[in-house]
Structure 1
């Protein structure tokens, strides 16, 4: 059975970028959102249960580097807007481009099944019950910051435990001893916020991190992430970045945050302008990795122990696709090999938008990914052979392993400008450059497996 429609899963920042791009190209689609509104992770207390936003959350990329290319954020927004302002921006975006009535809300995608002809059956569930539809392609934009990952520490803890995904405010945490595990962006934000009213906040880290401020020499941090910066060899980027950090606040070890043993730019950056000061004030105390949970106490690898009332795990997320059977797509250890972080070489017409971790903002990159996918769907852009895609994936995996710490946190890293340039090059591919059509063409045209001369 032939169909021309495309299924988009999710109406967060990546899903609405995909919807807008397909809409402008005249490609028929259905966009399903589990919650009652758009915004995904940026909708505080989202009723889809997948938002990790806390009440005090502000963006870590500046507004000019986070906005969509054809819809700037308002001039009166600050450099780093809060989550409610970002959600308002998304609402204005979908209204401006006429997308609201093209999104089906309160509808969960419960199953996606590949069919022998390269199309997909998609089962959805809402108040009207379950039904299954048929689509020529599926775009997955369900996000990857919603399924908490916990460490496996020995022992038992008798106090309150939560993941940063479930943290919303520090209410009820006053005069408590709080341990935040992890030194990523959310963990540091939460440690800083709780420390202002807690009896004591501790921050546990295995290997520390380079702490980057939101401003360097009066400019937003990401204003330095220019094409010229990414054109530098990695060793020079490391020297340049560390020089700027030193100009900003000298040695972080003098504040009480240990200098990491790994090289600069070998991990996803931790951005906070508050942590070093609060460590210097003694409001946040840095501890090494947890050795053991011991009732109402926690023992650390340096032999010290502390009485703890609440543990908050800022230990990242698992990549999960609850609508895929594990025999189809199962990203073990957050590994999902994709060509240019979008295309699975074994499954035609399945696209992933926003499934990456950038040095820079996600939204502009998701917009370029959407343009690429739209070009493939309309037949103006084609893909390399399956073998070439797999070779490219291996090369990229090796590059990431050379630069980054071996961790499930670093399986999807991309650099902002170089990656966008890669997608722009893919957009220039035509049928003469490709040895294989990897799309379902429009009705009555060639088949999915057509080999080109």
Structure 2
């Protein structure tokens, strides 16, 4: 049954503490964002002993506006790009009164209720930063350095679940564009509200969801908004005829061409952007991560946003574009994506090059037993249910209910998945972690069945 309708009722509320089983491996979870709380809930209800460390003083990660941990990219008008039923955890649906696409504050409230419902809030240690994770030497496992207001210490764990997110380490143009600029430059990560755009000549650089949102908001607040796009993207509407467009759900076993066809039909139904002056994408709709915006067409049509090609150079109070045109600017917003990085993992542990970290099923390094990456993927859909199913697989491995494939089989499957990924998406750092939501869920659940250990 499709994931979005598989579970319509909340699991019973956990009313009594679940004591950990100290005979099971002890785990460290890094981060209490959407992926970290998914991992914590699964380990808690599985009685696996663990510590969850959060750098800030609140849960929620990206979805908490002005998160005290300083790494959230949340802005005032942020909404989810996946409809609520498709974003929710399997046993905890979002409230029925939520709109098709929840606001960031509604998502945060949902996460807070999730933690309270399953009763694991006491397992999260706040205001504590993980500064180093290294192999435990002769005793195996992992040594983890943590720092808090009370000082620093090292703890030993049998396993580590990395859930620090991948939308926090801003990627700026490299190399920088030639010329000098006298105005202000910010990354989309540092954008919070339209107040930063008020009365200014703004150039937004990028064609992703954040770029569209910022350009739309700027069209109501700024003196002028120019949207610089180097490579065209298919921009789909979130709703068509009052319905969330992602509710056309395919079975997980369906081949990619069916998902690609669904995306193509969505792009056709949304209408192209060529007539508004945006470049025609050189790829099919299913060959890139979807971009969604209900408002950008209206703002382009109203000429409140001016489309531009890529930048050629900066000229103090202007930006010159590749077609020779220019526009006044006193603020450039670089919506140029993020780097995948782990400040607590040395290159000896994992080496990320150009956002590419080869992993089995996007979660296990074949040469780093006991190290799990949770939520380190970019789905055609939402991360949350995928983090949940990854955590379920990790919990089964930790309790001995499931075994991983051999290293040889993992490497072979990784090569196959990488080849499939390169055929499905155009070559770009933003696609190194791309997965098909429904197919990925199906794959992980199949792995849990294949690797099940007889009782």
Task: Identify whether the pair has TM-score above 0.5, normalized to the shorter chain.
Answer: yes
- Kindly report which structure 2 residues correspond to 1:182-261, keeping only aligned pairs within 5 A, or say none: 182-227=206-251, 231-232=254-255, 234=257, 237-248=259-270, 250-261=271-282
Matched, 1:333 2:354: yes
Matched, 1:16 2:37: yes
Note if contact 2:30-2:162 (Cα within 8 Å) is conserved in structure 1. yes
Return the offset for 1:232: 4.9
CA distance in 2, matches of 1:21, 1:238: 32
Q: Which residue of 1 aligns with 2:204?
A: 180
Note if contact 2:205-2:227 (Cα within 8 Å) is conserved in structure 1. yes
Note if contact 1:149-1:318 (Cα within 8 Å) is conserved in structure 2. yes
Q: Which residue of 2 aligns with 1:381?
A: 402
- Of residues 260, 263, 270, the one that matches 2:284 is 263
Matched, 1:412 2:412: no
Matched, 1:80 2:101: yes
Q: Which residue of 1 aligns with 2:155?
A: 133
CA distance in 1, matches of 2:278, 2:311: 17
Note if contact 1:179-1:201 (Cα within 8 Å) is conserved in structure 2. yes
CA shift digits 1:312-348 (9 cap, x unpaired): 0000000110111122223110010000001000100
CA distance in 1, matches of 2:234, 2:372: 34
TM-score, normalised to structure 1, is 0.91
SS in 1 for 2:155: strand
Specify whether residues 240 and 38 from structure 1 end up closer, same or farther in structure 2 by C-alpha distance, changes over 3 A only.
Answer: closer
Greater shift, 51-60 or 423-432, is seen at 423-432
Q: Specify every segment of 5 or more residues in structure 1 that has no aligned partner in the other structure, as ranges.
A: 434-453
Q: Which residue of 1 aligns with 2:447?
A: 426
CA distance in 2, matches of 1:10, 1:238: 33
SS in 2 for 1:188: helix
CA shift digits 1:294-325 (9 cap, x unpaired): 21111111111112110000000001101111
Note if contact 2:377-2:433 (Cα within 8 Å) is conserved in structure 1. yes
CA distance in 2, matches of 1:381, 1:129: 38
CA distance in 2, matches of 1:404, 1:413: 8
Greater shift, 202-211 or 258-267, is seen at 258-267
Q: Which residue of 1 aligns with 2:9?
A: none
Greater shift, 422-431 or 55-64, is seen at 422-431
Q: Which residue of 1 aligns with 2:334?
A: 313
Return the offset for 1:239: 4.5
Q: Specify every segment of 5 or more residues in structure 2 that has no aligned partner in the other structure, as ranges.
A: 1-22
Return the offset for 1:163: 0.4
CA distance in 2, matches of 1:119, 1:400: 32
**Once superposed, what is the RMSD of the aligned Cα atoms?**
1.7
CA distance in 2, matches of 1:45, 1:392: 40
Note if contact 2:133-2:344 (Cα within 8 Å) is conserved in structure 1. yes
Note if contact 2:261-2:286 (Cα within 8 Å) is conserved in structure 1. no
Note if contact 2:389-2:441 (Cα within 8 Å) is conserved in structure 1. yes
Matched, 1:147 2:162: no
